[in-house]
Structure 1
Amino acid sequence: MLCFKAAVFVIFLSLLPLVAPSGAYIAFNAFITRSLHLNMGSKVNVVYGGVYYNYGNAYNRHTGVFTAPSNGLYVFSWASVVEPKKMFDSEILLNGKRTGLGNCNNLKGRGYENCSRTYPLVLKAGDRVNIRTVGANNLIAYWSSFSGWKV
């Protein structure tokens, strides 16, 4: 019986985008499709080109920028996985200005390191949010992600 309930729930989730009113949900979950090997001194806007979902189409997979379609409280989270002896320090930008920092320093590590940050932001329609490196030389594909949703 448990398998049947799980199957029904999975089917429900897969149909949700088809039955939800247009614009009812604003949420995205994107990931890195190629591991990044970066110059430590340069600031780079991170483009999370793979997309699991993008309800409301507010996230641009080509630029890595989320544009708020309406005023409200949004939550953003990003996860960074780095190789041993590498780091990925980053910042979350609101309209090009830093609103928070993320640190994933694995310079002394022997194994992979997984780090994450979450920030709530009050946005106005048209505000733009993205992740940029501060000091980074590595980010692992598929395991590193950026997501956001309207509360």
Structure 2
Amino acid sequence: MKLQCLLLGLFLFLASSMAEESCDREEMEDTICSLCAQRSGSRLSQLGKMQVAFHTYMSSSVQISSLRVNKTLVYDRVETNIGNGYDVTSGNFVVPENGVYAFHITTVAKDKSHCSVQLVKNDIVKDIGWADAMNHNDRASSSTFTILNVKEGDIVKVRVGTAFAGDILESNQYTRLSFSGFRIV
């Protein structure tokens, strides 16, 4: 199949260089990829679907005294936001297109602190993590990885769970409080 696509590409290149009108390289590549995808029925035919991925983190540590049950955690640094689903002002990820998505949360508690966090979809809890350094001076990290079937307009976010106490959720040059996700299919 790859050889056929390569030969087709070579033919199109030679034909375009001999023709009075020429097309640009990008147009040729799109045509070749489109023809190969149609012939092979491969995953290339899914390229028309929207790509969605985001990665956010908190730029500084959070004082646990500022938290309350069900408070949405707002991750203020956005590294990636393909599809523009993450809203840095609200902390909400608004699903831009139906599909199956993967979400990841990392939470770090420091020195006799602990906190549970919830991944929620339309205010329904889908996963829970608990960073527990409650009885010792050290760091404790919690990480969740959740796969959800979501629809356009659904809201996915991270919020504080029912268990939290102590001083600090740590986010700095050593560790980060983060929230990320991407569309699988």
Q: Over aligned residues, Cα RMSD in angstroms? A: 1.9
Asked if 1:146 corresponds to 2:179, the answer is yes
Segments ≥4 residues shifted beyond 4 Å = none
Q: Is the 8 A contact 2:67 2:160 kept in 1?
A: no
Name which of structure 1's ranges 36-45 and 130-139 shifts more when overlaid on structure 2.
Answer: 36-45
What SS does the aligned partner of 2:135 have? Answer: coil
**Following the alignment from structure 1 to structure 2, what is the Cα–Cα distance between the partners of residues 22 and 34?**
38
Asked if 1:136 corresponds to 2:169, the answer is no
- AA of the residue aligned to 2:112: K
- Report what 1:37 is aligned to: 63
What SS does the aligned partner of 1:39 have? Answer: helix
Greater Rg by CA: 2
- The 5-angstrom pairing of residues 41-52 of structure 1 reads 42-43=68-69, 44-52=71-79
**Percent of aligned positions that are identical:** 25
More strand by share: 1
- Higher RCO by CA contacts (8 Å cutoff, separation 6 or greater): 1
Q: How many corresponding residue pairs?
A: 131
Residues 34, 41 of structure 1: alpha-carbon distance in 2 compared, 3 angstrom cutoff: closer
Residues 41, 147 of structure 1: alpha-carbon distance in 2 compared, 3 angstrom cutoff: closer
TM-score (norm 2): 0.66
More helix by share: 2
